[in-house]
Structure 1
Amino acid sequence: MDVAQILKDSSGLLIEEDLLLLEEELQTGSYDGAYARSCSDTIASIRAGLSERPSGGVLGGTSQASDLGAPEDGLPKSASRPIVLVDSAELSPFGKPDGVRNGLEIDPFLELESIRRSSTYKSQLKSYIEQHDFFDESFVDKNFSRFDDLELKIIVASVCLSESFLDKYLDALDLEAVARYQIFSEEFFMRHFRELDAGIVLRQGANDWRTKKNRSKKLDAFLRLKGVMF
């Protein structure tokens, strides 16, 4: 986002909420220090002038209702002004950690769309998931159809998922990622033995019982019957 250009072109139209958004963009975006300071000075100057702008239908301290013209949509003409629109795609991909910007809730998928266009898409998505508490099993379940296969693989590697969730979506998940990164019970493993690679589960998985000394006798017997000797 070219903050300086916005300040130059729209200085007379910006209100406090606009200035707060631009200040946050300067703080979270990748801007040169001198550029950011210059923009901050301009914002301070605009903010100082906000109190001098006329408000309502009072000009020069005298009511001028007769000069306002006919109302438009129930508002006097003086109450309407051009709106400054900022393309969300130009904003930094990361807002505040809780997904809230200036007190307003932000749709996470607006930020995810920005991440999807990044050349470091995979690492940025993983970081985004780790930095946002709302990105949990419930969120994934609610929005499951909005993620593609690669995103689901990254989610499986980054989010702790319950066995009920894994049972529900196992056919749609990357099974190697499930075997390697998810924590589940011996019973779940035995139930899904055909789907999950025993070598990955027992050699590279995240479960404590993957080593022989921590396995139950039941799992040991099950593995022997399946011909698994490690």
Structure 2
Amino acid sequence: MAKKRMFAEEVVRSDIFLDLPQSSQLLYFHFGMIADDDGIVASVDRELRYLGFGSKDDLRLLIEKKLIDITNDGKLIFIIDWLKNNNLRSDRYYKTIHTEARKELEAKGYHFKNKNFGARLGIPKVNQSAATDIDIDIDIDKGIDKDKDIEIDKNSLLSAYFNTFTKLASKNNKLRDAVKVEFLKLPDFQKEQAVIGAKNYAKWYKTENPDDSIGKFTTNAINFIIGDKETFDDFQEEIKVKKKTLGGFI
């Protein structure tokens, strides 16, 4: 997933946008930063808790002004002007993991990147429309040793997180690529929290469900990041189960 996001002047300097309350405007910017490469935002409730501002009223305003839309199940948000704000190079684009939501949004008439989604087609030539993006990325991609160290740290945290879940339940093995996408969206401090939470969750689950040797009823590694039940911020410390049940606590 791309690590940089942009916002089109025709969107964020429009009268419609500027007439919104500041909290609604700021929420839109944050959604733009955490959306996947198709402009879809998950775990909205958790993001609101994390940000410490924004409300359902702000969401309703953004929907009314046709700046965002919401899936039928009410769980995912789509940034309507995503392709105006961001049109990623094919070599940096990853199709959303929320495939059913994308189909639903396409049925509503929304447009997404071309059908070659996620294909690694190579870096565009300088005379293509992404030339400015290339100029910026060249400076970043040259890198320095410190940047390499940071990337190694992130990969180590990702490995620790993923290995904890694969040891807990083999079903997580199939989710490697999707877990990587969601894990790398997290701010660095939350990556560390996710690793801590995963270890505490695994210990808690095994203690509370000793008969489930294959982790059949565990939450999976993706939902532990974006889900609305057990998530890593619930397990920053070892906790006692609130209600003992094979599927987790209620």
Fold match (TM-score > 0.5): no
| TM-score, normalised relative to structure 1 | 0.26
Question: When the two structures are superposed, what TM-score results if normalisation uses the length of structure 2?
Answer: 0.24
Indicate the structure whose relative CO is greater, using CA pairs within 8 Å and at least 6 residues apart: 2
Larger radius of gyration: 1
